[in-house]
Amino acid sequence: MSFTTQMDAARKGIVTPQMQTVAAKEKVPMEDLMDRMARGSVIIPANKNHASLQGEGVGEGLRIKVNVNLGISKDCQDMEAELDKVRTALSMHIEAIMDLSCYGKTAPFRKRLVDMSPVMIGTVPVYDAVGFCDKNLRDITVDDWFRVVEQHVVDGVDFLTIHAGLNRATAEKIKKQQRITNIVSRGGALLFSWMELNDAENPFFQHYDRLLDLCEQHDVTLSLGDGCRPGCLHDATDASQVQELISLGELTKRAWERNVQVMIEGPGHMAMNEIPGNMMLEKRLCFGAPFYVLGPLVTDVAPGYDHITAAIGGAIAAQHGADFLCYVTPAEHLRLPSLDDLKEGIMATRIAAHAADIGRGIPGARAWDDAMAKARADLDWETMFQLAMDDKRAREYRKSSMPEHQDSCSMCGKMCAVRNMNRILAGKDIQLDD
């Protein structure tokens, strides 16, 4: 029996290699995984042209996944430097990479990325349009927009961020309401500007079936972008954000009718108390589709530390329904991330994701922490390092300040609570003065 997409296969009862990989990784029964995929609450982005892909699942009952953004731009065109970031990100166990390249040799970079990456790859084709078409924004045609999308699909991209919900009706709300930051989504701003310059409807909203044709043909997942995501706390959960979310829900159902997998992108900047409600709203309005969030950043006043503000928001969001976290680095709002920024952003986001996995009761999540607790109780430093999320940093910290007694650390020395409890419970004496 043949199938067109992973969703189509699940609905027909066909087990794909990607499903087998995901079921094994997640320790989920195959019938449960296929049921969730058939309903759209779980996706496995897997372009038929991405030969090196191993497959990851995103959604209901699965581990929270982490995405890394990178790519070449006009001010930073060093392809090899970005590929170094790719290799580093892969070594740090992320599950997805979004190529946000917008200038220069975007196609060669994208092809190398797809060829070398076993994790899912996403792009935002509208970023690439001006350079791809060699035209001013005003002069790009509907056919031009779709030529760019088709090229990305053919190149093997697993998911596409498309801001199809930012239509003329939503655009009018943006113009009428008093937002502080207006539109901060780069793709959303480009499409909004094109619509205004040409007095036209969003081409991806108006010609949505044409987009679905490409996705169905190559089994590409739609990541329906939030062009109206809030760029500051003040703008969160306003009319334009909710209006776009309603549109995205309608577009989700249309995609599912064509067996095209969908996830929804979300905020953005948002106060902590608004996060649970936003997660519930997305799940309700978008019929349980997986939710992919940037942050949310829970305060606007910590430039240089936004990997922390985003990790706080990401942990809360994932605990309340988000399924996929986009990393945020210390360089957010300031510059293109360096390799060190990338590492800091990945670790902060992985911590948030794992904390949420524990809270959500994901199989195996708590066992990792229990193993670490046992190693600490035994003062088994080597096992602690092996279990650490970042074993290199843990080893470096320990080595930088070695204690007099190897069964303690330089903070407590012979007053170490764990050391002393172990000795007392073993019937041994404690000497603190020598």
Q: Is 193 annotated as a binding residue?
A: no
- Would the annotation count 391 as a binding residue? no
Q: Does the annotation place 103 within a ligand binding site?
A: no
Q: Residues 125, 149: contact at Cβ < 8 Å?
A: yes
**Residue 228 annotated as binding?**
yes
- 69 is an annotated ligand-binding site residue: yes
β-sheet bridge partners, residue 289: none
CB atoms within 10 A of CB 141: 12
Q: Is 265 annotated as a binding residue?
A: yes
Say if residues 232 and 181 touch (Cβ distance below 8 Å).
yes
Coil, strand or helix at 81: helix
186 labelled binding-site residue: yes
> 215 among the known binding-site residues?
no
- Distance (Å, rounded) from C-alpha 8 to C-alpha 38? 7
Query: What contacts 193, CB < 8 A, 6 or more positions away?
Result: 137
The label of the residue with tokens 């989920």 reads 28
| CB environment 147-165: b (16+ within 10 A), e (fewer) | ebbbbbbebbbbbbbbbbb
CB 314 within 8 A of CB 279: no
> Pseudo-torsion of CA 183, 280, 19, 115, nearest 10°?
20
Whether residue 416 is annotated as binding a ligand: the answer is yes
User: Is 187 marked as a binding-site residue?
Assistant: yes
Q: If DSSP states are collapsed to H, E and C, what string results for 263-292?
A: EEEECCECCHHHHHHHHHHHHHHCCCCCEE
Is 133 annotated to bind a ligand? Reply is: no
Cα–Cα distance, 394 to 388 (Å, whole number): 7
427 annotated among ligand-binding-site residues: no
Spatial CB neighbours of 284, under 8 Å, sequence gap ≥ 6: none
- Do 92 and 346 contact (CB within 8 A), yes or no? yes
Nearest partner of 97 among 324, 283, 286, 262, judged by Cα = 324
Cα distances (angstroms) measured from residue 284 to each of 5, 59, 238: 25, 14, 17
* Binding site as annotated, residues: 69, 98, 127, 163, 185-187, 226-229, 265, 269, 292, 333, 409, 412, 416
* Binding site as annotated, residues for Zn(2+): 269, 333
* Binding site as annotated, residues for substrate: 69, 98, 127, 163, 185-187, 226-229, 265, 292
* Binding site as annotated, residues for [4Fe-4S] cluster: 409, 412, 416
